[in-house]
Amino acid sequence: MSHVSDYPHTACFSVHSGVDPAALPRVMGQFAKRGLVPSQWHSTIAGPRGAELHIDLQVQGLRPELCEQIARTLRQMVEVRLVLTSEKRLAISA
């Protein structure tokens, strides 16, 4: 069952963790178990001496309450150092 709705905004997540190949499926798993597929996903090895993994992803139509619930879960994961969230809104012009 998908929790994506007709909510007109996009939830954005930035997850910083240690460089661990298992971090990628653990992060994706938090979305998959809710029936969600990110509309965008990008991961980069960054930080001093390449010691950090940065995962940036977006999910369209995700309500703020569920976004925060997922962020709390991500923050409790092994190796995760930082989780930032934001909401992208579409500009409507006349």
Structure confidence by residue, pLDDT tens digits, 31-84: 999 999 999 999 999 988 999 999 999 999 999 999 999 999 999 999 999 999
Provide the CA 9 distance to its chain's centre, in angstroms: 14
CA pair distance 81, 79, nearest whole angstrom: 6
Confidence (pTM): 0.86
CA pair distance 94, 85, nearest whole angstrom: 29
Please give the residue range of the domain that contains residue 64: 10-84
**Structural domain total, the chain:** 1
Is 67 domain-assigned? yes
Provide the CA 52 distance to its chain's centre, in angstroms: 16
Is 79 domain-assigned? yes
Is 36 domain-assigned? yes
**pLDDT of 27-39, one tens digit each?**
999 999 999 999 9
Is 1 domain-assigned? no
Is 2 domain-assigned? no
Specify the CATH number for the domain of residue 58.
3.30.70.260
